[in-house]
Amino acid sequence: MMAGLLFARAGVRTTVLEKHGDFLRDFRGDTVHPSTLRLFSELGLLDRFLERPHNKVHDIRALVGSRFIEVADFSHFDPRWNFTALMPQWEFLDFVVDEARTYPHFNLIMNAEATSLIGDGGRIEGVRYQHVAEDRTIRARLIIAADGRRSILRDQSGLPLTVLGAPIDVFWFRVPKQPTARNETAGIFAPGRIMALLDRGDYWQCAYVFAKGEAEKVRERGIGPFRREVAQVAPMLAGEIEAVASWDDVRLLTVALDRLDCWHKPGLLVIGDAAHAMSPIGGVGINVAIQDAVAAANLLAGPMAHGEAVDALLPKVRKRRLLQVRTIQGFQKLAQDRIITPLLATSGPFEPPLPLRLLERYPILRRLPAAFLGFGPRPEHVRSPVSGAS
Ligand SMILES: Cc1cc2nc3c(=O)[nH]c(=O)nc-3n(C[C@H](O)[C@H](O)[C@H](O)COP(=O)(O)OP(=O)(O)OC[C@H]3O[C@@H](n4cnc5c(N)ncnc54)[C@H](O)[C@@H]3O)c2cc1C
């Protein structure tokens, strides 16, 4: 959607296909980090964006055993983006669509599921898609596959994929809460158990992490024992945990970590999770995907608006983005292998690992995780042109 906005803004006739009829889905956290807030500021959209319902997180805490440790402090950034905005994805996407629609070159087709690529002699020239029950085609100078971590278009392209592996999956559920002045978003690390709690004002969005493939094992124990375990690990949920009445209230989200070795073919560019599925660790995937869209528009939208061929420029998008993607996926893999997997296998008491103890002792160090999560090693700036009136 962000790529759609940016290419249309540059004066390139752009069509976005979205397979769902609306955005009312809840399959991930909604951490809009400082990098994305700054991009909205560069687009002149930040004030309007922040009129949408959201919660601000200025620091991230971890509950380790019985100790709260502050791990990331965003407050030293520019006051316009010195926080992470927790905004549900339907609000976020509705906002981007509303802004994109102000550009005459933007066209969104909902209920439109891309089913295959069209191409002759190695060049991709379009996509086939199903709109309601009808088969349709669209031809274009460039197809951008941004269809997520189960991307059909990526599979069809035959581009080689490296699977880095994710040893965890997540149960995702809500528990009511009383709104508090301070946002209480936190990670929880207990023997054999890890949870993440996103404070969305009047409810907690909870992620219960477990070893991949063990969903059935957890369910077999029954919803009552599950509730008791959650309340024990996260005491702040104890009062309202009964709201999780049955397994129907608990969704299984599968986690993936992989990366395409090459993101393009003539006429095709793959970005976002389709090019590099991100784990939920650090809550950065949305922001990385948005930066891919910005980098793609920076490199391609101007030449396309002038009618130039861009196949030769496509490799530059991956080249530009690889440092960011590799570094963040490397951190996620390290956290999976060194912290999460050993902790899920622990049954006795444990000490917080050294990096957490250092963060506890030296507050200034909390700026480092904030900079890494908030911006990453190579954040993007909007450099694509604006064409015509919006
Ligand atoms: C449990 C979990 C929690 C997470 N929490 C966070 C978090 O807190 N913060 C964060 O930044 N990241 C988080 N992530 C990662 C984040 O979800 C992804 O990195 C991010 O959504 C990638 O964005 P994307 O636009 O590439 O793909 P997606 O967000 O997956 O969007 C793909 C879009 O394409 C549509 N689509 C799919 N197939 C087709 C098709 N064939 N035709 C047409 N449309 C199609 C889908 O409906 C969807 O709208 C989490 C991931 C998981 C698994």
Q: What is the pLDDT of residues 7-59, one digit of tens each?
A: 999 999 999 999 999 998 777 778 999 999 999 999 999 999 999 999 999 99
Q: pLDDT band at residue 78, thresholds of 50, 70 and 90?
A: very high
Segment 264-284 shows an average pLDDT of 96
Question: At residue 179, does pLDDT exceed 70?
Answer: yes
CA of 272, closest atom in ligand 1: 26
Whether ligand 1 lies within 6 angstroms of the CB of 280 is answered as yes
Q: Residue 329: which of 385, 388, 289 has the closest Cα?
A: 289
pLDDT score for 388: 56
Segment 106-110 shows an average pLDDT of 98
Q: pLDDT band at residue 390, thresholds of 50, 70 and 90?
A: very low
Question: At residue 355, does pLDDT exceed 90?
Answer: no
What is d(CA 259, CA 277) in angstroms, rounded to the nearest whole number? 7
Q: Which of 103-117, 255-269, 330-344 has the lowest mean pLDDT?
A: 330-344
pLDDT score for 96: 98
Shortest-distance Cα residue to atom 18 of ligand 1: 285
Shortest-distance Cα residue to atom 36 of ligand 1: 147
Q: pLDDT band at residue 66, thresholds of 50, 70 and 90?
A: confident
- Whether residue 326 contacts residue 376, with contact meaning beta carbons closer than 8 Å, is answered with no
What is d(CA 27, CA 251) in angstroms, rounded to the nearest whole number? 8
As a 3-state breakdown, the chain gives helix, strand, coil percent values, each rounded to 5, of 40, 25, 35
What is d(CA 111, CA 130) in angstroms, rounded to the nearest whole number? 8
pLDDT score for 4: 98
State the distance from the centre of ligand 1 to the C-alpha of 256, rounded, in angstroms. Answer: 11
Q: pLDDT band at residue 302, thresholds of 50, 70 and 90?
A: very high
List own/partner pairs for 358-363 with CB under 8 A and 24 or more apart.
359/69, 359/70, 359/71, 360/67, 360/69, 360/70, 363/70, 363/73
Task: Using DSSP, state whether 297 is helix, strand or coil.
Answer: helix
pLDDT score for 106: 98
State the distance from the centre of ligand 1 to the C-alpha of 65, rounded, in angstroms. Answer: 32
What is d(CA 103, CA 14) in angstroms, rounded to the nearest whole number? 10
**pTM for the predicted model, two decimal places:** 0.95
Q: Which of 165-169, 213-217, 386-390 has the lowest mean pLDDT?
A: 386-390
Buried residues in 122-150 as b, exposed as e (16+ CB within 10 A): eebbbbebeeeeeeeebebbbbbbbbbbe
Greatest mean pLDDT among 28-32, 43-47, 164-168, 195-199 lies in 43-47
pLDDT score for 29: 72
Whether ligand 1 lies within 6 angstroms of the CB of 31 is answered as yes
The pLDDT mean for the chain works out to 94
pLDDT score for 389: 45
Name, in order, each residue with C-beta under 8 angstroms of 221's C-beta and a sequence gap of 6 or more.
Answer: none
Question: At residue 384, does pLDDT exceed 90?
Answer: yes
Whether ligand 1 lies within 6 angstroms of the CB of 20 is answered as yes
- Whether residue 297 contacts residue 304, with contact meaning beta carbons closer than 8 Å, is answered with no
Q: How many helices (H) and strands (E) are present in the chain, helices listed first?
A: 12, 20
CA of 255, closest atom in ligand 1: 53
